[in-house]
Structure 1
């Protein structure tokens, strides 16, 4: 796991995720389009943080749907709960969990999102199996992470993966790659489908 991850458990550091430059570096529209959440869907945002994607996804699924915002950080969960309530988004359920142990029911979600966290996951085989378990048949898992290159921000280049490396790691579990996309200037995106 990237050594700086633990700092996101501290509320003061967590709020740095609200940097106004984030939308330039990590624009929401390409990711939301790839997730393709529609009314009534159940969407899991794994590593939801402050709700950068969970909140707009909640608007997309509407009151008939639900966004399961999973995060291991108590500070992140508290802040996200507050933000969802202030936005009137009762369809956001904030859950204590991780990529390896989401706490979600089997075959219970239509879409899952991992945004800039693949490199953070300590036990990827367990986490990939967890995505296979929670997604419904035909469900889609969107993975976005940092390009494997040196930048002035983000994790060190040696902690990053290429999209091809991720496909090679995920494919043996039965997931089918259905899309590659460019979510932003410093990230790559993949969409996998559960058979």
Structure 2
């Protein structure tokens, strides 16, 4: 049975999780029940004219977590629960890379990313909550990291430069996007031809993962949404205790696409 959420975390925030909740925060609550159009997104034109969504391609869009839950993001046992250090290795960051932590929160991932890409690299840290960005500034100043660029995003636009990013990291946040097509349209344009999105989402296929169903995603749903928006799967890592880790490139990228390993096979192989 899922563990009860500590009472302090419920007070004053949009808590949408049980034991682990949402790991970062960027999005907004959908305000309509419109279904997605069947028209493909044209990445050579303007962003799709998209309304906030309650559902997207059959998935209910989850509500985001408020900044009051920020202490949860940097809890001491997070790595024990999610094996985040293993995920970090899979990002394969190197000196000089230009990367983005989308839904950065107070910087659990941002700070180690900045250390890894070094002074010659950049980390664009995006969140839609000013309070989160302020918490990030305090933590990055204390760590004396000067290669972090906080960016106030919008619910339909992360405000990223065109064609500069080697990697965009989204940790347990994509499922909260109220404007998924618009966000993916902008990310498609922000990536370099060989750039990738590293997507971490709690596994819907695994009932033992102690997260509310609305904050999980299945591999099938992820593939449906990313292929729909002109991305292809180029890598995946399936040995995390709670999450899928999937890497997507633009569909016109020279990187070779792969087929996802079936979730049932993944669960059977886990220790």
TM-score higher than 0.5:
yes
1:2 counterpart residue number: 62
Report the RMSD for the aligned CA atoms in angstroms.
1.8
Deviation sequence 1:22-65 (CA, Å, 0-9, x none)? 11122222322232221111001100111111111101110000
Question: Structure 2 CA distance, aligned partners of 1:57 and 1:38?
Answer: 9
Query: Which structure has the highest helix share of the two?
Result: 1
Matched, 1:92 2:148: yes
1:128 counterpart residue number: 184
Contact 1:110 1:135 in 2 (8 A): yes
1:153 to partner: Cα distance: 4.5
1:35 counterpart residue number: 91
Q: Name which one, 1 or 2, has greater alpha-carbon Rg.
A: 2
Question: Structure 2 CA distance, aligned partners of 1:98 and 1:31?
Answer: 27
Contact 1:34 1:142 in 2 (8 A): no
Matched, 1:145 2:205: no
Contact 2:202 2:244 in 1 (8 A): yes
1:98 to partner: Cα distance: 4.5
Matched, 1:179 2:239: no
Contact 2:122 2:149 in 1 (8 A): yes
Query: Which structure has the highest strand share of the two?
Result: 1
1:84 to partner: Cα distance: 0.7
2:113 counterpart residue number: 57
TM-score, structure 2 length as denominator? Answer: 0.65
User: Structure 1 residues 98 and 190, CA, compared in 2 at 3 Å: closer, same or farther?
Assistant: farther
TM-score, structure 1 length as denominator? Answer: 0.89
Question: Structure 2 CA distance, aligned partners of 1:99 and 1:134?
Answer: 16
